[in-house]
Amino acid sequence: MHESSLVMNLLDQVRRLADLERAVHVASIEVEIGPLSGVEPLLIESAFERIAATRGFAGTRLTLLEVPLVAQCPQCDRTFEIVEFRFRCPSGCSANVRVIQGDGCILKRMTLTTDEQEAQV
């Protein structure tokens, strides 16, 4: 299943980064998705619930940040939200627009628990 493959890629990346940070636990993961990410939020969540514990991430919370699909016109520099997947500049420019948000699956942040002592304030 498509979302399963994505979750496995995500957890592989999180594992590598968590090891670099010498984390003992990953408390939470925030992932940004949008209308052109090619994933369905409910299916990602379901795949994560199914897979995370089997990969050493029991107790890790996944938060999905859903963002709109945003593009920029290279001709007039206008930034705008894409509506109904019509990729045209609202100002009528002829150039093809460039998507700048909402077409990827981005690992934004991780909250880690490490062995470090809390800093004394």
Place of tokens 């045209």: 88
* Shortest distance, position 25 Cβ to other proteins, whole Å: 9
If we measure between CA atoms, which residue out of 64, 58, 65 comes closest to residue 26?
Answer: 58
Q: Least CB distance from residue 114 to other proteins, whole Å? A: 5
The answer to whether 90 and 80 have CB atoms below 8 angstroms apart is yes
CB closer to other proteins, 77 vs 87: 87
Q: Which two tokens stand for residue 111?
A: 């909250």
Q: Which residue, 79 or 114, has its beta carbon nearer to other proteins?
A: 114
Q: Which residues bind other proteins (CB under 8 A)?
A: 1-2, 5-6, 9-10, 12-13, 17, 21, 23-24, 27, 31, 35-39, 84-88, 96, 99, 103-119
Length of the chain as a residue count: 121
Cα 57 from Cα 82, distance rounded (Å): 36
Tell me how far, at minimum, the Cβ of 53 lies from other proteins, in Å.
Answer: 19
